[in-house]
Amino acid sequence: MRIGLLFGLALFLVPTAKAAHIIGGEITYVCNGGDSYTFTLKMYRDCAGQGALFDGAGNAPFDLQLSIYQGDSNQEFASINPGAPVVVPVNPEISNPCLIVPPNVCVEEGTYVFSLNLPYTGESYHLVYQRCCRNNTITNISNPGDTGATYTMELTAEAQLECNSSPTFNNFPPIIICAGEPIDFDFSATDIDGDELVYELCVPYTGGGPDTDNAFSPNGVAPNPDLPPNTNGANAYPPVNFIDPPYSFDSPLNGNPGLTIDPNTGFMTGVPTNLGQYVVGVCVKEYRNGELLSVLRRDFQFNVANCEPTVVADIREDFIIDNTFQVISCGDSVVTMINESYQAQFIDEYQWTFDLGGGVIENYSSEDVTVEFPGVGTYPGQLVLNPGTNCADTANIEVNIYPDIVADFEFEYDTCISGPVLFTDLSISGAGPNAITDWAWDFGDGNSRTDQNPDHLYMIPGNLPVELRVTDINGCEDSLTQEINYFPVPALLVVDPGDLIVCQPAEVFFDNLSFPIDETYDVFWDFGDGNFGQGVSPTHVFEDPGVYTVSLEITSPIGCYTDTIFPNLIEVLPSPVAGFDYSPEELSNFNPTVTFIDESIDAESWKWEFGPFGVSFLTEPVFTFPDTGLVDVLQIVTHLSGCKDTAVARLDIEPQVRYFLPNAFTPNTDGVNDSFRGEGVMEGARDFTFQIWNRYGELIFETNDPYESWNGRKFNTGEMAPAGNYLVVVAYVEPRGQQIKINGYVTLIK
């Protein structure tokens, strides 16, 4: 029997892939009398992200299809398509109103309601809906993303006789449970017949599977028909596979204490300790006069998450000890405390309390407070948010008023001649003569020290800020910055010219290693050759051979002066002058031999480099270049002093071709002048064409090979051409790209 008059036929669409979405469901019924029953299927889905829609809703790939079985029969009694569900959001309420629900939490309830006439036969009716899949992030079962669910309700024969209605749950369990917070949930149900209800944790069932190619098969994402409740006398709905240990149906999540449900009241308690998502099953057994009439099954997903407190008391502190905010004031008894509590939108009242000693208690209600304390000492206090409410929080405070600390120092140095600067610490602390424990010096030039009375040699001049920061036994700090106007001249003038013996003309860089100097100093140089210069480290060119004494004078921005003389610092040796000519000037592969003519001055020895092709040590060598192209020829000459000079010339050995055409040939097979082609040297030529035309304008021979000959026949294979004159057309491109075209005549003689 197939019941379809109320709902029509289902339209099935096969999806391209399964989608996780199921987080709970249940089936209840109401007896209307006269074998008429109204059934309610409630499904719950995770609507965050890309979860699948409820079957039958909107663009969902399937209509919902629910199967009915009678008694122990494995044959489907009826198939129900209840149409589209009524979908409403479920608010993510949590048991502790002082905690904030994590963002991006979304749950929807889809409700399907349908009525059926089920005649009494003395057997039970079983309503079954199976669907895959659950969320793949579930913590307590194996392969959750491939695990579906079965939701079923048995309408027993006794319930039919009594026109019984099943119990219904009063509330949906909380979507979010906060880790470390007690579960305090009323899981009770209401029975309109007033029957006895017994609550227990029970096993959630699996149903369907991940097969999307055969979506309606028993292992498909939407089995159709749904499987019967009995297979050879056994329950066809296997339980979900809990990860054991530590999980099971009666211990579905980690908790201390663990999750329990009161069998009489349905009140669920426990304190979850681990974050995650957990499948939980709850069953309500309905008894009348000791007779079991029905079992209401619900499975659902608990989400255990970290929840932020609604309000947190916090202040700007110096440090925290044993959860107490430590505030330090050094030398000042008036202290302003900055309130950094959050979340501000949930804070309605601030209550500050400070014990000033001697029985004096001061209270404040502003957000920030300024308190005048009696003097040096330690004073306890508190900040309470929302006092006297469930959503309050407290910050314990300890204010420490310490004696003042003052940083101070002096320094001395020779203002004109560079030397160490001596620093003397003059800092004092009210905590005692030896109370200062730490000194931190910053000398303003990137260097630092931590001893009490340091000395420091500056490598740079300038208006240099020196900072001293001191700390005492109470942790009090103070700092002082003073500027040193440091512009002495160097105590020693040091110059590094690199090589002291150089060849004419000599370009010398005088690297001034003296310190402290910079561009603000007047630096004057006498190079000893009649030339002068300025600047910290100049470069100078010595044109003539000789030995030169260099002197240096330095004046600082504040008028300090120093000088020195470097006797015979630079020796400049004489150098030769390289130079040459060559003949012939025009070179080619037909004329590659060159005679080089020396034109150097004061040379003692010669070295010639002919590109990559060779070298010579002759005064005037003759060299034959083995290849064409551009080549640099170097002449390197050496003076008796050892100084050298180099001259360079770029030679062009031009690649050339030679091609000419004979004017007659006799193709009579006598072995003499039997064929016709051009003669010459064609190495490097490209795009060569050679054509023979007769007097009628007919092409009778053509080749791209400069070494292939015409034998007097048409394309070298036909009949012998008649005696006479023939037009010859030759074209090619020379090695350097010049296009050549030659027109001529050849006489064929027989």
State mean pLDDT over 104-123: 91
CA atoms of 526 and 340, how far apart (whole Å): 69
Binned at pLDDT 50, 70 and 90, residue 309 comes out as confident
- Reply yes or no on whether the pLDDT at 15 is more than 70: no
Name the least confident of 1-15, 404-418, 514-528: 1-15
Question: At 420, is the secondary structure helix, strand, or coil?
Answer: coil
Provide the pLDDT for residue 524. Answer: 98
Higher pLDDT, 470 or 307: 470
Contacts of 579 (CB under 8 A, 6+ apart): 598, 599, 600, 601, 635, 647
Give the domain CATH number at 721: 2.60.40
pLDDT tens-digit map of 196-207: 999 999 999 999
CA atoms of 255 and 180, how far apart (whole Å): 9
Q: What is the CA radius of gyration of the chain?
A: 53
Helices (H), 289-373: none
- Reply yes or no on whether the pLDDT at 444 is more than 80: yes
What secondary structure, in 3-state letters, does 481-520 show? Answer: EEEEEECCECCCCCEECCCCEEECCEEEECEECCCCCCCC
Contacts of 636 (CB under 8 A, 6+ apart): 578, 606, 607, 608, 609, 644, 645, 646
Q: Domain range holding 469? A: 405-486
Q: Write out the two tokens for 300.
A: 């659902």
Examine residue 3 and state whether it is found in any structural domain, yes or no: no
How many domains does the chain divide into? 6
Question: At 199, is the secondary structure helix, strand, or coil?
Answer: strand
Provide the pLDDT for residue 659. Answer: 92
454 shares its domain with 324: no
Provide the pLDDT for residue 95. Answer: 59
245 shares its domain with 261: yes
Count of all residues that appear for the chain in the document: 750
CA atoms of 304 and 140, how far apart (whole Å): 12
Cα diameter, the chain? 146
Examine residue 383 and state whether it is found in any structural domain, yes or no: yes
Binned at pLDDT 50, 70 and 90, residue 281 comes out as very high
CA atoms of 67 and 80, how far apart (whole Å): 6
Examine residue 413 and state whether it is found in any structural domain, yes or no: yes
Provide the pLDDT for residue 49. Answer: 62
The number of angstroms, rounded, from the C-alpha of 105 to the middle of its chain's C-alpha atoms is 27
- Reply yes or no on whether the pLDDT at 2 is more than 50: no
Examine residue 530 and state whether it is found in any structural domain, yes or no: yes
Contact 144, 135 (CB under 8 A): yes
Name the least confident of 98-102, 238-242, 330-334, 342-346: 98-102
Provide the pLDDT for residue 60. Answer: 81
> Dihedral, CA atoms, 192, 198, 201, 204, nearest 10 degrees?
-50
- Sequence-distant contacts of 363-372: CB under 8 A, at least 24 apart: 367/339, 368/336, 368/337, 368/338, 368/339, 369/336, 369/337, 369/339, 370/334, 370/335, 370/336, 370/337, 371/334, 371/335, 371/337, 371/399, 372/333, 372/334
State mean pLDDT over 388-417: 94
DSSP states along 670-722? SSSS-SB--EEE-TT-EEEEEEEE-TTS-EEEEES-TT--B-SBGGGTSSBPP
Q: Tell me the average pLDDT of the chain.
A: 91
503 shares its domain with 433: no
629 shares its domain with 562: no
- Reply yes or no on whether the pLDDT at 13 is more than 50: no
pLDDT tens-digit map of 611-668: 999 999 999 999 999 999 999 999 999 999 999 999 999 999 999 999 999 999 999 9
Provide the pLDDT for residue 74. Answer: 86
Of residues 495, 483, 490, the one with CA closest to residue 528: 495
Q: Write out the two tokens for 27.
A: 């089936």
Domain end marker among 458, 486, 514: 486
Contact 169, 80 (CB under 8 A): no
State mean pLDDT over 160-171: 95
683 shares its domain with 719: yes
Domain end marker among 654, 687, 718: 654
Binned at pLDDT 50, 70 and 90, residue 741 comes out as very high
Provide the pLDDT for residue 20. Answer: 55
Provide the pLDDT for residue 16. Answer: 34
223 shares its domain with 132: yes
Burial of 174 (0-12, 13-18, 19+ CB in 10 A): buried
Distance from the first to the final alpha carbon of the chain? 113
- Reply yes or no on whether the pLDDT at 407 is more than 90: yes
587 shares its domain with 736: no
State mean pLDDT over 86-94: 84
Give the domain CATH number at 418: 2.60.40.10
Contacts of 354 (CB under 8 A, 6+ apart): 361, 362, 371, 373, 379, 380, 381, 397, 399
206 shares its domain with 349: no
Provide the pLDDT for residue 91. Answer: 82
- Reply yes or no on whether the pLDDT at 17 is more than 80: no
Binned at pLDDT 50, 70 and 90, residue 51 comes out as low
Provide the pLDDT for residue 235. Answer: 66
Examine residue 572 and state whether it is found in any structural domain, yes or no: no
Examine residue 13 and state whether it is found in any structural domain, yes or no: no
Higher pLDDT, 3 or 363: 363
DSSP states along 224-293? SSPPPSEETTEESSPBP-B-TTT-BTTB-S-BSSPPEE-TTT-EEEE-B-S-EEEEEEEEEEEEETTEEE
Binned at pLDDT 50, 70 and 90, residue 72 comes out as confident
State mean pLDDT over 269-293: 94
CA atoms of 578 and 609, how far apart (whole Å): 13
Contacts of 433 (CB under 8 A, 6+ apart): none
Examine residue 670 and state whether it is found in any structural domain, yes or no: yes
Provide the pLDDT for residue 53. Answer: 86
| % residues pLDDT > 90 (the chain) | 81
- Reply yes or no on whether the pLDDT at 576 is more than 50: yes
Burial of 149 (0-12, 13-18, 19+ CB in 10 A): buried
Residue indicated by tokens 């005696």:
723
- Reply yes or no on whether the pLDDT at 580 is more than 60: yes
289 shares its domain with 149: yes
The residues pairing with 116 across neighbouring beta strands, listed in sequence order, are: 37
Domain end marker among 543, 566, 589: 566
DSSP states along 532-580? EEESSS-EEEE-S-EEEEEEEEEE-TTS-EEEEEEEEEEEEE---B--E
| DSSP 8-state code for residue 204 | P
Q: pTM of the entire structure?
A: 0.52
Q: Write out the two tokens for 275.
A: 């974050």
Q: Write out the two tokens for 506.
A: 């000599």
Examine residue 264 and state whether it is found in any structural domain, yes or no: yes
CA atoms of 43 and 633, how far apart (whole Å): 93
647 shares its domain with 662: no
138 shares its domain with 204: yes
297 shares its domain with 318: no
